[in-house]
Amino acid sequence: MGAGAVLRLGGSTLGGYGETDIAYAYRQLSRALHPDKNPDIPEAHDAFKRLTEAADELRQGLNDARNILRMLRLSMGGQTTPEMLERPQEALFAEATRMLYAVLSLSGEGEVPVTALNRGVATFASSTAYGNCPAQVLLTEWYDQPRLLELFAAPQVRTAYDCSRKRLRAQFLCALNRATHAEAKRHSDCVRGNWQAVMMQFPEIGLWRELFDKIKMRVWTQTKEEKKERGSMWDDEEGPKASGWAKQWRGRIAAVLPRGMDAAAPWTDPDVRQLSAALWKDIAEWARTPEVSAERHLQLFTAEPAAADAAATDEWAFVPAADVLLIVGESLVGITAEGIFADNKPGHDRMSWAHALEGKWDRSSKKEKEKDKDKKDKDKKDKDKSKDDDDDDEKDRDGKSSKDKKSKPENDPNFDWEQVWRTRMAANKTRRGRANSPLAGGRFRSRSRDRRRNSRSRDRRRDRSRDRKRSRSKKKRSRSRRRDRSSDS
């Protein structure tokens, strides 16, 4: 008989167990399994022995759960109370979940600028939910030491997980999965090997990750029609393109959330809650389609029916709002202890969910694009106008205008080529005269530099010619010496 069977037969309730529950279950079962009560059953002695071992195993697990709770509370800057230690499972699970959210809040999730992260750390320090938790010490112990992570791989944490309600279990799984992403982001897409033992204790994370990957693929997979809309072959250099469905939701997210450099919206904000609920509803409807068939994955978050014969409803035990916003709003959404925000442009004004749902964010973005286009066109026109004015001034100085040039077409048989040639030559002489005068400045000095440069070039050519002559004379002398030696020999 296993340790879990002792409590099940003893009638323990959801929420954990303590010494009194173990003693009560042991007394109830020992009366039925004691060898003195069953003298005709040979297996009674072995059954009673297994019952005693199961009770001892439960008591040992209870002590281990209390020790883990003490260590978690100590790392979070708190102390355990006798009420916590009496039935430690509930307090252990709450403290483990609180630690995960503390690590995520201090690390920052998604696109978090330094200013927003500093504000989040200040909010964390002043929050009553985390008490006297030492922020920097907690991050150091979590990321640089294996002790805290190994506690989550303990069987006692899994027992506390099984004793909790479904909505709390779903919240814990999402926080645990996001903790792996936060560590991968912090350590160049690498996580510690201790995570494998944690994942073995909570295999439900595999289901959530499968759904996570499917949603991510939907965000970044474009249809053939969307791929044809790309303007040029250089669009790929800007990174992956979001699908049409994702663009619509990303626009709504950016419109509803504040700019991260300025502020953050709390999770209790009505517009944020409506945005999260609408996005999850859309994803849930898509996940139930035959092409995706993720009904089993959604069971992690559906509410348990009140009765066994109750009809299935769309009521959710827990909505992973932060997770889906981070998936759909990748490289756009950021989360800290202060709240949630988006990487918006300076001067961004928040929009209500009702206006964002009507598509006003799209119209406002189009207006901004039109303004930018009008500004660029205006700057281009001003530049062209200034260039035309400069050309007109230059033509006036030369004594010509565009009308004089085009007064007669060049293919006219009566066109006076000689007169045009003489006029251009006279204009060129005038320009050269002005440029060669000392008053012209730069042109006069440039001719002097040309003279010096030419003189240096002549000197170099003369030196090279002299060197060649010397080399030829040396060769002649050497050949004559060789001939003289040969004749003497």
DSSP sequence for 430-459: HHHHHHHSGGG-HHHHHHHHHHHHHHHHHH
* Closest C-alpha among 8, 202, 252, 248 to residue 96: 202
Paired strand residues for 316: 302
Residue 46's pLDDT is: 86
CB-based burial label for 278 (10 Å; 0-12, 13-18, 19+)? middle
Residue 11's pLDDT is: 39
Residue 294's pLDDT is: 92
Residue 15's pLDDT is: 65
| Residue indicated by tokens 């909790």 | 164
Residue 455's pLDDT is: 75
What does the chain come to in residues? 489
Average pLDDT, consecutive stretches of 10 residues, N- to C-terminus, the chain (489 residues) = 44 68 89 82 85 91 94 92 92 95 95 94 91 91 94 95 93 96 92 94 95 94 70 52 91 94 94 95 94 93 70 76 95 95 91 88 58 64 62 52 46 70 79 54 51 74 86 84 76
* Closest C-alpha among 311, 333, 337 to residue 323: 333
Predicted structure pTM score: 0.70
